[in-house]
Chains A and B, each alone.
Chain A
Amino acid sequence: MSRGGDGLPASPPRRPLRTGPLWLALQLVLSGSLLLLFLLPIYALFTYSPISSLIANANNAGVREALWLTFFTSGIAVLAAVLFAIPMGYLLARRRFPGRTVVESLVALPVVVPHLLVGLGLFFLLVVPGAPLYRFTQAIGFPVYDTIWGVVLVMVFVSAPYTVLASELSFRAVDGRVLEASRSLGAGPATAFLTVTLPLASRGIVAGLLLTWARAVSEIGGLLILAAFVYPGGPYNGPVTTTISVYIYNLFQVGDLADAAAVSSLFLIIAFALFLVVRLGERSGWLPWRRGELEP
C-alpha cells in the first residue's frame, strides 16, 4: 500500500528477528522440558484409570455435587471479585492517599501466605466460641463452619488479590490523554469510565478474573480447616461442603486411587475446555478487549 505523503508509515507487522540454530535449539529444549513437566503428570492421570471409570464417575451423584458446588462457590468468588476487587484496583490506581503502599502490600499478602494459615485465621476469627466475630456470624445467619459460606469466604480471601492487582495495573495503563480527550469531546466522568477506561482496562481485568477463578477452584488448604466435609460416609449430617479438590483429596486419603485419577481427569477436561473457550473468544475478537490490535 502506498503511503506517500501521509506522514509516518504505519508500522508493518513485526516478525521476530532470525536467530542462530543453536539458540533456537536451546529455546526449544528448555521450553520443551517445562511443557513435559506439565504434560506428563496429566498423561499419568488420564491413563491410570480406564475411560469407563471416568464415565462412571461423571455419572456419580457425589462427584456431580462436588463439581456443582465448586463452580457455584468459585462463581460467587468471581462475582465478589467483580464487586469488590475491581473498584479497589481502581482506587489504588487512581488515588493517592497516605498508606497506599501498605494497603498494596496487604492486598498481596493472601498470595504469599500458606493457605492453611488463611483457614486457621478465619477459624480463630469466626468459628471458635468467643472468637471476635463468632456471635456476629451466628446473629446474621451466616455461620461459616462447614457451610457453603465458609467455602466462599476462603475462596474470596485467597483469590480476590489477583483481580485487585490485575485491575490496578490495567487501570493504571489507560492513557490519561485518551481519557482527557474523551472528556473534552463531551463525555462526563461516568461515560468516560464506561466508554474509555473500562474497555481499555477490560483485557487485564478479565485476565485477573480468570486467575481469581482458577485460584478459587483449586483451593484446598484453607477449606480443609474451615469448611470441608472430609470423611465421606461419616457421622456428619450438615450441608455438603466438599469441593472437587477436597473430594479428590478424600478419595486419595481413603486409598481409592483409580477414582481419584478419574475425577481429576474429568475436572481437567472441564477446566481446559473453559480456558480454551475464553482464549478462542479473545482471538476471534468476539470479546472486546483486543479489538484495537486486530486488523479488520
Chain B
Amino acid sequence: MSEWVVDGLEADLDHFHLGPVDLTLTPGRAVAVLGASGAGKTTLLRTLAGFLRMRRGRILRDGTDISDWPPESRGLGYVPQGFGLLPHRTVERNVRYPMEIRDRPQAAQRTQELLERFRLTPLAHRYPARLSGGELQRVAIARALAAEPGLIVWDEPWQALDVLARHDLGVVLEEMRQTEPIPMVIVTHDPALAFSVADSFLVLHAGQVRNQCDAVALMRAPTDAFSARFVGYENVYDRPDLEGKGRSPFRSWLVDRAGPEGLAFASPTLSPSVSASPLWEGKVRSARPSPLGVTVEVVVDDLLVTLRMPPPVTPPLPTLGERLRFGIDPASLQPLGTRHRTVAGG
C-alpha cells in the first residue's frame, strides 16, 4: 500500500482554475470530495489521475514525485462517471483487462477469484450493456482491484443507482477497506454514503478548497453554505439575504450572530415547552410529515425558517397562515465563512 501526498496542486482547464489543493492519503483512509456542480471535483480527480496537466504543485507516491508521470504509470485506479467499462468485452474480459495488457502471470486465476468475490461469476460472459447499475458497479470495483492500484479515485460511484444498490455498494466498499487498505478519493453528492465511507472531507467551491476536515468536524461545524446543506442544515442564509430588506428584530438577531458569509442552523424544535429566548413568531407556509416528525415552514420578516415537530405528533397539524411561536437555541447557530482547516486523511 502506498501513501500519497498532494502538495499545492493547481490546474487550469480552459478558464477554470483549480487549487491549491493539499491532501494526504494513507492506507485505508478515504477522502470524500464534495462540492456543487462545476466546483472542480472531476477536474481534481482527472488531474490526480494524470489526464490534466498540473500547473503547480506536486503529487508524491511514497515519496516519489510522480507529477509528470503518464496515467498508466501512476498506479492509480481511476473510475470515471459511468464506470468506463469496455462495452465490447464481457464482464470476465473487463476484469482481466488490466492484467492482460500488462502480461501478468496467473491472470486467469486471479480473474476468477475477483469474479467470485464480487458475485460476478454467473455474469462472467455477459456484456456491460446487459448489466444492471449495481452489477456494473461491482465489475468496475473488481476491475480496478485487478490493476492492483495504490490509490482508487472514484467519480460519483453512486450516481444513478437506486436505494438498495447504494446500500449494497456501501457494504462492498466497507468490506474492501477492511481487506485491502487502499486509500480512496471519492467524489459524491450523497451525504449518507459519504459519511458511511469517508474519514475526511474536502469541500470545493469554484475550484477553491472551502473546507477540509474530518467527518465529525464537518457534521458539527460546517463552515460554508454548501457543507451546511450537505450535512443536513435546513436553514442556511447567505449574508446578503439576511441583511437584505432592512432591519427587524429577527434579522438583526441573526445578523449579529452570522459569520462573514452567513449563518446556518438545524431546524429548531417546535414544542410548547421551548425555553429558548427570545421567542419569535412566524406565519405557517407549509406543514408536511417527514421521517423525523412534521416539518413546518414559517415565514418571519420575509425569511423562510424550517421548524420540526418531533414525533409523536398529536394532531391537528399547523394550518396555513397560522401564527406559530418558536425559539432558536443560540448555541445551535453556526456562523459561515470562518475558515478552518485540519489536515484531511492523515
Contact = CB atoms under 8 A, between A and B. Distances in A.
Nearest to B143: A185
Interface stretch (B43-51, B173-181, B331-339): B43-51
Given A7-B164, A184-B74, A296 B49 contact: no
Interface residues of A, number: 34
Interface string B46-88: 1001110000000000000000001110101111111111111
B147 A185 contact: yes
Given A178-B85, A180-B78, A291-B88, A7 B162 contact: yes
B160 interface: yes
A102 interface: no
A180 B132 contact: no
Contacts of A187: 72, 101
A205 to B, nearest CB: 14
A296 B125 contact: yes
B161 A7 contact: yes
Given A178-B87, A186-B72, A186-B98, A8 B78 contact: no
Interface in B259-291: none
Contacts of B127: 291-296
A106 interface: no
B128 A184 contact: no
B135 A6 contact: yes
Contacts of B168: 5-7
Contacts of B79: 181
B127 to A, nearest CB: 5
Contacts of B70: 183, 188-189
Given A8-B165, A184-B72, A296 B132 contact: no
Nearest to B124: A296
Given A181-B79, A295-B130, A8 B88 contact: no
Contacts of B132: 3, 6-10
A183 B149 CA distance: 13
A71 interface: no
B126 interface: yes
B101 A191 contact: yes
Contacts of A5: 134, 164-165, 168
A92 interface: no
Interface stretch (A107-115, A138-146, A194-202, A237-245): A194-202
Given A7-B134, A7-B161, A296-B126, A196 B90 contact: no
B137 A7 contact: yes
A185 B140 CA distance: 11
Interface in B238-273: none
B43 to A, nearest CB: 13
Contact of B160 (A8, A178, A189, A195): A8
A6 B134 CA distance: 5
A177 interface: yes
Contacts of A293: 127, 129
Contacts of A200: 87-88
A295 B128 CA distance: 10
30 contacts: A4-B164, A5-B164, A5-B165, A5-B168, A6-B133, A6-B135, A6-B164, A7-B137, A7-B161, A8-B161, A9-B132, A10-B130, A10-B135, A177-B80, A180-B49, A180-B51, A182-B84, A182-B86, A183-B50, A183-B51, A184-B72, A184-B74, A184-B76, A184-B77, A186-B72, A186-B98, A292-B89, A292-B129, A295-B127, A296-B125
Q: Which 9 A-B pairs have the closest CB atoms?
A: A7-B165, A181-B84, A7-B134, A8-B133, A7-B133, A184-B78, A177-B80, A292-B87, A185-B98
Given A183-B72, A195-B101, 8 more contacts: A3-B132, A178-B80, A181-B80, A184-B49, A186-B102, A189-B70, A191-B101, A196-B86
